[in-house]
Amino acid sequence: MKDHLPSSLDEQLANLPRDITPARNLWPGIVRGIDRGIVRGPHRSRPLAFAAAAAVAAACVASALTWAVLHGLPNPAPAPVMAARASGYGDLHDASYVTARDSLEHTFHERLALLDPGTRAQIESSLAVIRKAHEDIRKALAGAPASPVLEQLWESTWHDELDLYERVVQSTQPNMTRT
């Protein structure tokens, strides 16, 4: 009696045919897919759209927390350190920071002009939301300078704005190097 043991994987692979002819010619479909990719171009707006959506979401959260702080939560007792820091909630005056920020903002505006109008409008809308949230929080800090929540939100809106600038600059970098 001969046992019918399953053959090894190597034996099974050796028994497979070497060439398989497809039921139909696949190349026309492949060429159409490539052509569609060239006509529509690569999908570069997705990271920017995601960045814009994230910026809007962050600004909405900041606004909601500001409202909660102003309308429902008691403010902690003012601390001398917090009060001293609160007096500087206007524009930042550090020369190196201002220079770096101006340079980034200038590059942001140059690169923003390279984007398609729909993406550019989304980013400009997100930037307006971030700036409005920042201004609302700054005004709230004037009334509650010792609020650590407002201070954190205020700093967060600065970061959101700079992150948006940086994402646009980084996302358009490949466009700048291609000729």
Supply the DSSP string of 107-144, one letter for each residue: HHHHHHTTS-HHHHHHHHHHHHHHHHHHHHHHHHHHH-
pLDDT digits (tens, 9 = 90+) for 21-63: 777 887 888 778 777 765 445 555 466 666 777 777 777 667 7
In a domain? residue 36: no
Per-residue pLDDT for 88 more than 70? no
Per-residue pLDDT for 20 more than 60? yes
CA 157 to chain centre: 14
What is the number of domains present in the chain?
Answer: 1
In a domain? residue 1: no
In a domain? residue 50: yes
In a domain? residue 94: yes
Provide the pLDDT for residue 54.
Answer: 72
pLDDT digits (tens, 9 = 90+) for 127-160: 899 889 889 888 988 888 888 888 888 888 888 8
Provide the pLDDT for residue 93.
Answer: 62
In a domain? residue 159: yes
Angle between helices 117-143 and 95-112 (to 10 degrees): 150
Cβ pair 51, 108 in contact under 8 A: no
Could you give the CA distance from residue 92 to residue 98 in angstroms, rounded to a whole number? 7
